[in-house]
């Protein structure tokens, strides 16, 4: 049986895979599971619900809210706000649970549902499994009368609370820095420009006019080209690109060169080590991070720990070791002192703060790390589960590893959110990485 929850919540084509009835059941089951161990009985259990601006979000928010209210949970709707905003507000309001409705970087027709427990923390696999099991045994009748939960349509101060939190988390003035921000026509469209302006930056915002249908449409962190052009056209010091729910941040230097999540982590790790803020001098990254990051960290005397792909696994390692910095190449950067999940806007503020503090350009700061050639091919497949067990795939992997030796590496893994199998190859030379990755992708596609 296929597990309902993927790498980052429940995701699928809205109104087909992710239906109103499914959202209703999810809301009810999550309400039961996430509030059953609450310590306080002085007030009713509460939930925070936010969303990105895609068209299906309103429909799914209504269904989820109804499901939670049917189980006696009061729901506070906070409207369009980044995922890390929902995580923060869940803690700030003292809520028992939080829900973000977003498919992140996926195209507009998709949507997703992410849950947070009290304190704004993502759920471990075991709790997600418990919610999924609870969906199959929901009682026909819920509380009645005064036991039914209320749904409060819009919080008047949610966005202001989040903006104040961002300002307090990165109080360094970035006056004199000109930045172009690509909000992906998503959840950061209002918040990110406001946060950067409040920090003192001169802000040029693009793709910040969501209309319910244009989220991630040839813009944002997965389509960096227009941001690169805009940075050069405006003579900006840097560009910052977010995804649909703004838990990611990628950057562009003044020459239009991409600065990815690995390079951002390298910059922040060095900065935090200098200030004795990098606990145990340790950075947590995933197996997808470039080999160049590990080599750069070794040179700086910083230990790098690797996890499975997914910021939730980075978070688990950060929490287990009480570390202070982690993230993914895709731009999920986690600073646990300030946030319980990746926060793209906070990442942008910290990056500009480092530029302001050192007087160095983004390109100079990124020079701490040499990016080794890395090729990633996404192969559409029908059966993700059977790929790695294929003798043909195993033989192809062994041949690739033998060719690369110690100067590169191979990583094959299923996507947690799409029907894709990801083939990644690193090598000393780009052409070799492309050749090896192409061979592996062809084998995967033929299985």
The 10s digit of each residue's pLDDT in 64-77 is 999 999 999 999 99
Whether the pLDDT of residue 281 is over 80: the answer is: yes
More confident residue, 313 or 271: 271
52 annotated to bind ligand: no
For the chain, the first-to-last Cα distance in angstroms comes to: 21
Q: 51 has which bridge partners?
A: 80, 101
pLDDT band of residue 41 (cuts 50, 70, 90) is low
- Determine the pLDDT at residue 278: 98
Residue 8 assigned to a binding site:
no
pTM summary value: 0.90
User: Is residue 291 over pLDDT 90?
Assistant: no
Tell me the per-residue pLDDT of 160-208, one tens digit each, with 9 for 90 and over: 999 999 999 999 999 999 999 999 999 999 999 999 999 999 999 999 9
What element of type H or E holds 206?
Answer: strand 202-206
Separation between Cα atoms, residue 411 and residue 426, nearest integer Å: 9
Averaged pLDDT for residues 4-20:
94
Q: Is 104 annotated as a binding residue?
A: yes
What is the band of 1 on the pLDDT scale with cuts at 50, 70, 90?
low
In which band, very low, low, confident or very high, does the pLDDT at 40 lie, cut at 50, 70 and 90?
low
Least confident span in 227-236, 257-266, 418-427, 432-441: 418-427
Tell me the backbone φ, ψ of residue 213, rounded to 5 degrees. Answer: -120, -15
Q: Which residues contact 360 (CB under 8 A, 6 or more apart)?
A: none
**Which strand ranges, in their side-by-side order, compose the sheet holding 374-380?**
374-380, 420-426, 409-414
Q: Is 330 a catalytic residue?
A: no
C-alpha pair distances (Å), 82 with each of 49, 185, 186, 248:
11, 12, 8, 10
C-alpha angle 374-396-383 in degrees, rounded to nearest 5: 90
d(CA 131, CA 363) in angstroms, rounded, equals 46
Please determine, for residue 257, whether its predicted confidence score (pLDDT) is greater than 70: yes
Confirm or deny that 41 is annotated as ligand binding. Answer: no
* Domains and their CATH numbers in the chain: 10-156 (3.40.120.10), 161-366 (3.40.120.10), 374-446 (3.30.310.50)
Q: Which of 56, 65, 70, 104 is catalytic?
A: 104
Instruction: Give the separation between CA 369 and CA 356, rounded to whole angstroms.
Output: 20
Q: Distance between CA 262 and CA 8 in Å, rounded?
A: 20
Query: What number is the average pLDDT over the span 276-280?
Result: 97
Q: Looking at residues 300-310, what average pLDDT do you find?
A: 94
Task: Specify whether the CB–CB gap between 330 and 310 falls below 8 A.
Answer: no
The number of residues making up the chain comes to: 447
* pLDDT at res. 415: 84
């Amino acid at each position: 049986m296929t597990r309902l929850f993927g790498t980052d919540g429940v995701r699928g084509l809205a109104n087909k895979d992710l239906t109103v009835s499914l959202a209703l059941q999810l809301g009810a089951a999550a309400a039961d599971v996430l509030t059953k161990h609450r310590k306080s009985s002085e007030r009713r259990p509460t939930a925070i619900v936010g969303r990105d601006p895609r068209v299906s979000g309103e429909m799914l928010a209504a269904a989820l809210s109804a499901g939670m209210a049917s189980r006696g949970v009061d729901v506070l709707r906070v409207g369009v706000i980044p995922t890390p905003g929902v995580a923060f507000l869940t803690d700030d309001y003292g809520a028992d649970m939080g829900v973000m409705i977003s498919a992140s970087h996926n195209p507009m027709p998709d949507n997703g549902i992410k849950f947070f427990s009290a304190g704004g923390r993502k759920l471990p696999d075991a709790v997600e499994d418990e919610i999924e099991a609870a969906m199959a045994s929901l009682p026909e009748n819920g509380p009645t009368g005064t036991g039914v939960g209320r749904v409060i349509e819009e919080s008047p101060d949610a966005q202001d609370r989040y903006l104040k939190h961002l300002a307090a988390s990165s109080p360094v003035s970035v006056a004199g820095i000109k930045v172009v921000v690509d909000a992906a026509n998503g959840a950061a469209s209002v918040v990110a420009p406001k946060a950067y302006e409040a920090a003192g930056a001169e802000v040029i915002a693009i793709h910040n006019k969501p209309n319910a249908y244009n989220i991630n449409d040839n813009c944002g962190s997965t389509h960096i080209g227009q941001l690169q052009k805009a940075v050069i056209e405006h003579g900006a010091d840097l560009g910052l690109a977010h995804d649909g729910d703004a838990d990611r941040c990628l950057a562009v230097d003044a020459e239009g060169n991409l600065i990815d999540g690995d390079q951002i982590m390298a910059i922040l790790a060095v900065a935090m080590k200098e200030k004795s803020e990098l606990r145990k001098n340790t950075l947590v990254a995933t197996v997808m991070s470039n080999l160049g990051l590990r080599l750069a960290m070794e040179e700086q005397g910083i230990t790098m720990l690797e996890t499975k792909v997914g910021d939730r696994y980075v978070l688990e390692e950060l929490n287990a070791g009480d570390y202070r910095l982690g993230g993914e190449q895709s731009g999920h950067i986690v600073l646990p002192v300030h946030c319980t999940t990746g926060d793209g806007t906070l990442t942008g503020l910290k990056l500009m703060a480092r530029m302001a503090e050192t007087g160095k350009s983004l390109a100079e700061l990124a020079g701490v790390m040499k990016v080794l050639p890395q090729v990633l091919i996404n192969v559409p497949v029908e059966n993700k589960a059977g790929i790695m067990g294929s003798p043909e795939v195993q033989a192809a992997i062994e041949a690739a590893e033998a060719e690369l030796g110690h100067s590169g590496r191979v990583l094959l893994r299923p996507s947690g959110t799409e029907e894709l199998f990801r083939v990644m190859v690193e090598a000393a030379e780009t052409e070799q990485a492309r050749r090896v990755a192409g061979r592996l992708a062809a084998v995967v596609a033929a299985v």
